[in-house]
Structure 1
Amino acid sequence: IVGGHTFGKTHGAGPADLVGPEPEAAPLEQMGLGWKSSYGTGTGKDAITSGIEVVWTNTPTKWDNSFLEILYGYEWELTKSPAGAWQYTAKDGAGAGTIPDP
C-alpha cells in the first residue's frame, strides 16, 4: 500500500551502534516490541530503529494521495539523518512548511 506507514515515523534519535538486534534476533521476551536501544530511555523520543528520520505526510490520519503528491512534487537530494543514516530531503529547502519536517 502506497504510503501505508504514514501514521508515525521511523526513529533515528542516536547512533546506530546503540541499537540492539532486530526483533527477530532478540531474546524471546523482547520479540514483537521493536528494537531495544541503550540510548536514553530507549523509548519515545529516545527510540532508535532504522536511523532514517522521516514523516510521510502532513495528514497522517487522513487517507489521501498527499504521499504521492509530495514524492513527485519535489526534486530530492541525498542527506544524512541526525543518526547518520542516508535519506532524501527536498532540494534547496523546497517545500519548507509543507513537507513534514523530521
Structure 2
Amino acid sequence: MKIPCTMPRLKGYRFPREIVAYAVWAYHRFALSTADVEDLLAERGVIVSRETVRNWVNRFGRHFADCIKRDRPGTSDKWHLDEVVVPINGVKFWLWRAVDADGNVLDILV
C-alpha cells in the first residue's frame, strides 16, 4: 500500500497518517464495510469506531482516488478486445476485456 502523493496534513487528528491511509485504502481496495475496517484495525491494536472510519473515507477518499488516477499510466491510441469463454459451476460465461497497446486493462465485462 502506497500513501498517496502529498496526503493532506492531519493536524488535530488522533491517529498518524499511515493508519488513516491504511483504513481508507482497505475500505476502497477490498470493498469493505466500515465495520470490517474497524475489525481489521482492531486486530492490529488500533481501536477506532466505524463512524471515524466513515469520516476518514468521506474526507480523504476523493484525494486517494485523484492520486491513483494521476499516477496511473495514460492509455495509448491502439487497443484490442479479448473474448474468452469461462465455465463457472458448469455454466458458460463470456469474458470480454479491453487492453491497450501497453498491456493495461481498460475494462472487463462478464
TM-score normalised by structure 2 residue count = 0.19
Which one has the bigger strand percentage? 2
- By relative contact order (CA 8 Å, sep 6+), the higher-ranking structure is 1
Which one has the bigger helix percentage? 2
Rg larger in structure: 2
